[in-house]
Chain A
């Protein structure tokens, strides 16, 4: 089955700086890669996703890049703000009728004011 590794497990950045979280996956059949943000006491919130037919996707201060050859994808957050502090999870799935997500281990991001 799919295995998703995520690094780093914790990340602290100064407000205004950029943050990068990286994930690798094992199943070459995976073709959908979402990122979730989980704030304390809440359920995960889908913040951005990318499919295997594109290499990069951007939404305001958030971007995701995908390298299918190397089987890794990354989340980039620019101009970080205190409200970006949360736990971020990457995930991977295929689109062959069983769309279950395999999650990474999570990254606790802390923005230092």
Chain B
């Protein structure tokens, strides 16, 4: 497995602003992903963060709203742009440490938009 940290752990933001969430892993990983978990709901994949290239977004998510960076094999950021109350969710990063599918999740960032 891997030790994954996220910053911030929680935040309360005003609508129209943007928040950047950081995900740091204690070892190099092959894949990094960003998920959204709306209150009381399941996890939905936002995008795959690709090292050195543009992220791969899932249907319903766009780069202008959720820009992602992955400058190296241990770090990624997700920005939630021009926030509205509907963006209030838990945002989770996950990593895959090998070619064998296992994904491990960070503790999450709990975002409330007022």
Contacts and interface: CB of A to CB of B under 8 A. Distances in A.
Contact of B106 (A32, A43, A51, A100): A43
B106 A49 contact: no
Contacts of B58: 100
Nearest to B101: A32
Given A44-B105, A95-B101, A100 B33 contact: yes
A100 to B, nearest CB: 5
Counting chain B CB atoms within 10 Å of each CB, which of A45, A95, A103, A105 scores highest? A103
B51 to A, nearest CB: 15
Contacts, number: 49
A99 B107 CA distance: 21
Interface residues of B, number: 21
B102 interface: yes
Contact of A93 (B44, B48, B101, B104): B101
Interface of B is mostly: strand
Nearest to A100: B45
B42 A105 contact: yes
Given A43-B92, A46-B103, A100 B42 contact: no
B107 A43 contact: yes
Contacts of B101: 32, 34, 49, 51, 93, 95, 99
Nearest to A49: B102
**What 3 A-B pairs are tightest by C-beta distance, nearest first?**
A43-B105, A32-B101, A103-B43
